[in-house]
């Protein structure tokens, strides 16, 4: 029970177990069986389950999304894997017009049990076309489920749930989470696809984190605690449907809401959260909910510019304390030799 | 006759959805579906009524769908442009051009993966051959040696756009497909017998595991692109051209050859079937808005 | 000055004048020169400006978007036309990864002066794949301008501005607006691409309408007026950037905000408006801002279902009056013989 | 040598962006760009350094870009994967596979529309041929008879994926392109002279208004897909295969033929140029975050 796996290994185990349990599951995507195995998440699967069930594809993301839909509509449970969400825009038509709509427009006569895994890049100069985080685009489309697990534990449980789900599930995985370990049971467990999780209780303000930003929120909560402020941290996990009630009930306790999205603020997931919370908990709010996330321009490549692009824990703590009417000066986390375009080494579970 | 009935009734404004009729192109649908077994699947695009019926779809459920009724093949949710009928082996028709093609290929992939002897036929138009996704689909089908027939009904137009502005004149559509290394053939899409021979030939080799086939059929749409009327007056094609194709009526072709004679009793029988289907559609209830408002997502898994 | 044109004619005039004024302008799209001329909006342009400048394209929306980008980056000003926004999803990769980002990621060394017109379908059973209204997807992407003119007057002025703009502009045109007339000057005038417009002043509540929904808001404002309530109606017009200040200053006067979007509510433009207004005018709000729009499922085809899909004036009036703490019962507009899947005949300018 | 220098310096972690090196594939870039005039444009994808330099790009600005400096060809915003240098006639390189191809076609369209004699060359890999957008682009170029050369460097791999899982073995990439009715040719991509002859031949016919040409060049990437190292140890390709291609070194090919002999003085000169460029890059300032935060949109028009 105390076994540790990292995020990539956890996903691999979910795929491995699903492939073993259900002959209808197939895994396909560019590089799935290659020596790198999509950052380790598909390593060894082809050897274990054969080239018919774990396969590479041509550089045709659009058609292969349709192929997966054809498989799903005729009884299989395909898992499509993309090394960057940016690449999957080529398949956006299939996802939005077809995958999301078949079950509805065909009057529930068939379901579309497929999973589309997309990795979100960050750092090391991946720049404008390899590090977008486009969950908001999928979050707007009825018929899709959209998840962004943060911990290795949730990654495994939600992946198993996604594969078993009869709805299409889009799963966005942040690259910087891959090496982070957490307690991951060996059993085939399921984490619900539509529930946020309180990762740290607090009383003064609710911080909602999306994916990697949940870890930054936890670090910010530490800083706030040192300053005597108590932040509750919610790991959103489900982007569509949103678990509004979990957030609302947290805000009913703390009266303050700061969302830290891993994506553009404008027109993003954080806007929907604000709107939903305002609709349901207006009278509980002491101050206006605020949002942090990516600024309103594409990701620049040079580390000199990219360092400035992402919210950092001390900035989150600062904003939270301002919402509480305080003004402390929080110091950036000590990163030793590490530059900001690499993941923070200290983030390790269990969470 | 079915589609003529639709064309006649459409102006009553009870079929409140766009319809793309196949009048003039019937031979392709009939000839190609002739060799399909009931376990095989057909997939189509925006112009799909003929494919649906030829694959054994229900005339009643089609008309009810056009009339937006709960007894339609998608319960009124899809309308003319989004059909499905798994009981007839008609997987789907969807109207984003090219977009249903990889789905058909996926159905063929799944048939092969599960060791079934199912075969899939996907219908496309000449315009669809300009979409990237069709090329990706052809390549995928060839690489995986899938049991799928691509049937292209080349009716010379994409809406009102002639070939010249869309494709080069010095290659055929079959040539284009052949670039992918797929077996191709081509023929007169207005001759149901010829079509059936070509299709059967394709099915034989597909069933023998020799991989996908691409079939180009030349034909012509008589009515407007979308809607019930003739539109030779608006000037995108010449009356000469129309008359030439009109003379090559797929039904007359068979009749002239004596293969099929449309006897008065047949005509009557069909007419009465159509009449019954229209009645059925008209008398069917509309879907209940309350039931549509169900949440789109299934309940969570556990 | 009192000349009337309908929306389609107004756009055609904008294109015609731009083609005449600037040799770099070209217009391309499926069916652009055909006898229907994209609902009339491109009729006669090829005859006037030649097949090199006004042209049909192959059924290759994705590549042609790249072609237009290549034209724009080398000095031309292409206008791409699509008969449905649904079709343009095939080109989403080009729009998001390339068109929106070139100017930024190439450090302003080139600009991308192109316009992408997309028609939004509605009614007559166009159903799930022909009547989406996906402005929220484009609104999330930095580097794009996104507009939705409501009146014929604005359609012309904003189209001219869009063509002259050095940024890529996505213009979404609601099909039901095409036949509606308004006063449209013959001159080459420009309407700013980033300003909302107050179409009706009021004091009790601010109704923000998006595209066709602005007309429904005006009808609702009439009903409210009969009940003694004074609604201000703002025509959003610009989706990206949002004219937040116009909305905020209206809300500062009325203290109440109801947004009626022509699109899905969840994750939509209305969420961004709520979030922005809450951030800037929290203390002015008497009640929580609310949102109306399309429900969270795809558009059904049958009129029996589609009738229920779109907000109607009496429902807007009802919601507004509830936000004012009143409860009136407003009657649906009398539509005579017309069913709800056809445009309302009474909507005519000047607005 | 330039890219070897990049490979050597990369582990210092001062070039903080992904790099896709063309070592082993130089002959294609050099031979194809040889016949381009300065007013012509080149466009590329993720593996673009060689194309950029061969088209006359600045070594200093390239290295400064890799080092993320404000003096880089995109001021540090783009990095290795997003290059532009209009002064060198290098329109753009962008790394979404296939995505820059229609843009190149658009540049050719615009050249033709404006009556210029400019020609555009677009570089793609074998993997790109599997993307739908490349097919749409080929068709568009043929329909409009555009002045564009499609140059495909077939290095047998897409990342670590071999041909078998992506394309059928019984047709070549040139065959595939030929389906579109475009003129094609193919040759040894490791022989710069042969490449130049094929390219010049293509340019002649393109400049004569005879429309686009497609050129398939076989070649091989020596190092890993992305990054500075050799990766023959990870098992996706055989050492035999590697050695075979290694023996067919594009530079040795020329040297053996006596066309070009790499004299010590040349080597020294190049080394010093590289050294200077690296110095330039290292000493250049980083871009200022303040200036990047400008609003993305131009001011409104009036
Ligand atoms: C991606 C996309 N672009 C545009 C359209 C609009 N459209 C509907 S049918 C059609 C013409 C298709 O021509 P073809 O494939 O030859 O079929 P036909 O109508 O001739 O049977 C077009 C352009 C669409 N449905 N999808
Ligand atoms: C649409 C898309 N899918 C996937 C990728 C990831 N990717 C980057 S390069 C590459 C391989 C391309 O192969 P090829 O075209 O043969 O070029 P090569 O690397 O061999 O030069 C892939 C799959 C991408 N950049 N874009
Ligand atoms: Mg056609
Ligand atoms: Mg390659």
Bond before A144 cis per omega within 30 degrees: no
- Position A253 scores a pLDDT of 97
Chains with ≥3 CB–CB distances under 8 Å to B: A, C, D
Extract the tokens encoding D136: 């749409």
Q: How confident is the model at residue D302 (pLDDT cuts 50, 70, 90)?
A: very low
pLDDT in tens, D176-210: 999 999 999 999 999 999 999 999 999 999 999 99
Output the residue whose Cα is nearest ligand 2's atom 17.
D125
Which residue in C69, C143, C241 is closest to D103 by CB distance?
C69
What is the structure's pLDDT at C327?
87
- Known catalytic residue: C61? yes
Pairing of strands B183-188, B161-162: unpaired
Superfamily of domain B2-285: Thiamin diphosphate (ThDP)-binding fold, Pyr/PP domains (3.40.50.970)
Q: For the segment B247-269, what is each residue's pLDDT rounded down to a tens digit?
A: 999 988 888 888 766 677 888 89
How many Å apart are CA D38 and CA D292, to the nearest integer?
A: 31
Q: Which residue has the higher pLDDT, A31 or D290?
A: A31
pLDDT at D1: 74
pLDDT tier at C40 (50, 70, 90 boundaries)? very high
Q: Which of A49, A130, A174, A344 is catalytic?
A: A130
Residue B82 is nearest to which of C86, C129, C307, comparing CB atoms? C129
Q: How far is residue C35 from each of residues B159, B160, B233, C53, D293, measured CA to CA in Å?
A: 10, 8, 10, 17, 47
Length of chain B: 302
Q: Which residue CA neighbors atom 20 of ligand 2 most closely?
A: D158
Domains of chain C and CATH, by start: 4-183 (3.40.50.970), 197-323 (3.40.50.920)
Q: Which residues of D253-292 are buried (b: 16+ CB within 10 A; e: fewer)?
A: bbeeeeeeeeeeeeeeeeeeebeebbebbeebebbeeeeb
Query: In angstroms, rounded to a whole number, what is the distance separating the alpha carbons of residues C316 and D273?
Result: 70
For range C141-147, the mean pLDDT: 97
**Strands C197-200, A290-294: parallel, antiparallel or unpaired by DSSP?**
unpaired
User: Is C190 in contact with D108 (Cβ distance < 8 A)?
Assistant: no
pLDDT at position C204, please? 98
> Residue D153 has what pLDDT?
98
Which tokens hold the place of A249? Answer: 């009930």
Q: Can you read off the two tokens belonging to residue A324?
A: 């509480």
Does the predicted TM-score (pTM) go above 0.90?
yes
Q: Within 6 Å (CB) of ligand 2, which residues are found?
A: A 30, 59, 61, 87, 90; D 46-47, 95-97, 125-128, 155, 157-159, 225
Please give the full DSSP string across A252-295, using - where no structure is assigned: HHHS-EEEEEEEESTTSHHHHHHHHHHHHHGGG-SS--EEEEE-
Ligand nearest to the CA of B156: 3
Identify whether the C-beta of residue A226 lies closer than 8 Å to the C-beta of residue A313.
Answer: no
Looking at residue A244, the DSSP 8-state letter turns out to be: H
pLDDT tens track for B197-233 = 999 999 999 999 999 999 999 999 999 999 999 999 9
pLDDT of residue D285: 97
Shortest Cα–Cα distance, B301 to chain C (Å): 20
Identify the CA nearest to A212 among candidates A140, A131, A274: A131
Q: Categorize the per-residue pLDDT at B300 as very low, low, confident or very high, splitting at 50, 70 and 90.
A: very low
For A304, the closest of D74, D80, D287 (CB atoms) is: D287
Q: Which ipTM did the prediction report?
A: 0.97
Residues contacting residue B283 through CB under 8 Å, at least 6 positions apart: none
Angle value at C-alpha A45, between A41 and A48, nearest 5 degrees: 155
Hey, which chains touch A, using 3+ CB pairs under 8 Å?
A: B, C, D
pLDDT in tens, D4-25: 888 899 898 999 999 999 999 9
Give the number of C-alpha atoms closer than 13 A to the C-alpha of residue A103, restricted to the C-beta side.
23
User: A222-268, pLDDT tens digit by residue?
Assistant: 999 999 999 999 999 999 999 999 999 999 999 999 999 999 999 99
B102 contact residues in D (CB cutoff 8 A):
none
Q: Taking residues B27-53, report their average pLDDT.
A: 96
Statement: residue D299 has pLDDT above 60: no
Please give all residues whose CB falls under 5 A of ion ligand 4, grouped by chain where several chains appear.
Answer: D 125-126, 155, 157
Question: Average pLDDT of B7-36?
Answer: 94
Using CB atoms within 10 A of its CB, is residue B242 exposed (0-12), middle (13-18) or buried (19+)?
middle
Average pLDDT over chain A reads: 96
Chain C residues whose beta carbon lies within 8 Å of the beta carbon of residue D82: 105-106
Cβ pair B139, D128 in contact under 8 A:
no
- How far is C330 from C338, CA to CA, in rounded Å? 19
Residue D300 has pLDDT above 60, yes or no: no
The two structure tokens encoding residue C299: 């558009």
CB contact under 8 Å between B106 and A52, yes or no, is no
CB-nearest partner of C301 from B77, B158, B235: B77
What is the pLDDT averaged over residues C4-25? 98
CB contact under 8 A, A127 and D286: no
pLDDT above 50: residue D59? yes
Q: What does the pLDDT read at residue D2? A: 83
pLDDT of residue D289: 86
Give A-chain residues touching C97 at CB under 8 angstroms: 86, 89, 128-129
Partner D contacted by B172 (CB < 8 A): no
Q: Report, as an integer, the average pLDDT of B47-69.
A: 97
Cβ–Cβ gap D132/A125 under 8 Å? no
- CB distance A158 to A182 below 8 Å: no
Q: What was the pLDDT predicted at D264?
A: 75
The DSSP code for C41 is T
Domain boundaries, chain D: 2-285
Q: Mean pLDDT over all residues of chain C?
A: 96
Nearest to A143 by CA among C124, B134, C129, B108: C129
Q: Quote the pLDDT of residue D238.
A: 94
Best residue among D19, D47, D94, D97 to mutate for probing ligand 2, ranked by most atoms within 8 Å of CB: D97
Q: Are A301 and D78 inside 8 Å of each other by CB?
A: yes
State how far the Cα of C162 lies from the Cα of C146, in Å rounded to an integer: 10
- The answer to whether the Cβ–Cβ distance between A136 and C134 falls below 8 Å is no
Residue A351 pLDDT? 75
* Cα–Cα distance for residue pair A215/C191, rounded to 1 Å: 45
pLDDT tens digit sequence for C160-172: 999 999 999 999 9
Question: What's the gap in Å between B225 CA and the centre of ligand 3?
Answer: 9
Query: What is the tens place of the pLDDT at every residue in D268-296?
Result: 899 999 999 999 999 999 999 887 765 56
C182 near C153, Cβ under 8 Å? yes
- The stretch B68-82 carries a mean pLDDT of 96
* Tokens at B159, concatenated: 């809406």
Please confirm, yes or no, whether A61 is among the known catalytic residues. yes
Distance CA C91, CA B237 (A): 30
Chain D, nearest residue to B164 by Cα = D143
D251 has a pLDDT exceeding 90? no
Q: Which two tokens stand for residue A290?
A: 């605020």
Angle at CA of residue B65, ends B63 and B67, nearest 5°: 70
Interface contact flag, B77 A68, Cβ < 8 Å = no
- Please tell me the number of Cα atoms within 13 Å of C147 on its side-chain side: 30
Ligand 2 pocket mutation pick from D159, D164, D231 by most atoms within 8 angstroms of CB = D159
Helical packing angle, A244-254 and A269-281, nearest 10°: 60
State how far the Cα of A207 lies from the Cα of A319, in Å rounded to an integer: 11
CA–CA distance from C59 to each of B129, B150, B166, D284 (Å)? 8, 18, 7, 47
Quick: pLDDT tens for D133-149.
999 999 999 999 999 99
């Amino acid at each position: 029970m105390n076994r540790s796996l990292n995020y990539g290994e956890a996903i691999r185990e979910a795929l491995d177990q699903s492939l073993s349990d259900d002959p209808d599951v197939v895994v396909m995507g560019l590089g799935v069986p290659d020596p790198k195995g999509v950052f380790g998440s598909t390593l060894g699967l082809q050897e274990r389950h054969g080239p018919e069930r774990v396969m590479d594809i041509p550089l045709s993301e659009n058609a292969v999304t349709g192929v997966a839909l054809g498989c799903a509509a005729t009884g299989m449970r395909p898992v499509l894997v993309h090394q960057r969400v940016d690449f999957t825009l080529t398949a956006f038509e299939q996802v939005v017009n077809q995958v999301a709509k078949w079950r509805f427009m065909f009057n529930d006569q068939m379901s579309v049990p497929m999973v589309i895994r997309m990795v979100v890049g960050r750092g090391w100069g991946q720049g404008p076309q390899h590090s977008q985080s486009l969950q908001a685009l999928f979050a707007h489309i009825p018929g899709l489920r959209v998840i962004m697990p943060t911990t290795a534990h949730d990654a495994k449980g939600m992946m198993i749930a996604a594969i078993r789900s009869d709805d299409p599930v889009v799963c966005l995985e942040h690259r910087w989470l891959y090496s982070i370990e957490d307690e991951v049971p060996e059993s085939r467990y399921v984490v619900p696809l539509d529930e946020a999780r309180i990762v740290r209780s607090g009383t003064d303000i609710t911080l909602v984190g999306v994916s990697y930003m949940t870890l930054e929120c936890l670090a910010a909560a530490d800083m706030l605690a040192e300053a005597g402020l108590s932040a509750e941290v919610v790991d959103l996990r489900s982007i569509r449907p949103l678990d509004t009630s979990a957030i609302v009930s947290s805000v009913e306790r703390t009266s303050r809401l700061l969302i830290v999205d891993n994506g553009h603020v404008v027109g993003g997931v954080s806007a929907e959260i604000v709107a939903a919370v305002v609709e349901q908990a207006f009278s509980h709010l002491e101050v206006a909910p605020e949002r942090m996330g990516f600024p309103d321009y594409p990701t620049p490549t040079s580390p000199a510019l990219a360092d400035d692009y992402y919210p950092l824990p001390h900035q989150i703590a600062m904003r939270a304390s301002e919402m509480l009417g305080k003004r402390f000066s929080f110091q950036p986390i000590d990163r030793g030799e590490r530059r900001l375009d690499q993941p923070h080494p200290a983030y390790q579970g269990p969470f | 006759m079915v589609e003529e009935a639709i064309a006649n009734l459409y102006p009553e404004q009870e079929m409140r959805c766009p319809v793309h009729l196949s009048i003039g192109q019937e031979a392709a649908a009939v000839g190609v579906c002739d060799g399909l077994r009931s376990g095989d699947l057909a997939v189509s695009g925006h112009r799909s009524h003929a494919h649906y019926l030829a694959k054994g779809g229900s005339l009643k459920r089609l008309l009810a769908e056009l009339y937006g009724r709960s007894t339609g093949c998608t319960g009124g949710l899809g309308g003319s442009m989004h059909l499905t009928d798994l009981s007839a082996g008609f997987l789907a028709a969807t109207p984003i051009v090219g977009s249903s093609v990889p789905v058909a290929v996926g159905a063929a992939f799944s048939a092969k993966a599960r060791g079934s002897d199912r075969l899939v036929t996907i219908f496309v138009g000449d315009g669809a051959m300009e979409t990237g996704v069709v090329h990706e689909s052809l390549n995928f089908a060839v690489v995986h040696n899938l049991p799928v027939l691509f049937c292209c009904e080349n009716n010379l137009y994409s809406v009102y756009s002639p070939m010249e502005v869309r494709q080069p004149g010095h290659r055929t559509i079959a040539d284009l497909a052949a670039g992918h290394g797929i077996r191709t053939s081509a023929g007169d899409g207005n001759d149901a017998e010829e079509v059936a021979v070509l299709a059967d030939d394709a099915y034989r080799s597909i069933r023998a595991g020799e991989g996908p086939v691409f079939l180009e059929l030349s034909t012509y749409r008589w009515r407007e692109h979308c809607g019930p009327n003739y539109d030779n007056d608006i000037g995108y094609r010449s009356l000469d051209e129309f008359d030439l194709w009109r003379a090559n009526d797929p039904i007359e072709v068979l009749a002239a050859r004596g293969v099929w004679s449309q006897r008065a009793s047949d005509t009557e029988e069909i007419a009465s079937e159509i009449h019954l289907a229209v009645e059925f559609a008209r008398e069917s209830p509309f879907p209940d808005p309350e039931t549509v408002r169900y949440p789109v997502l299934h309940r969570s898994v556990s």
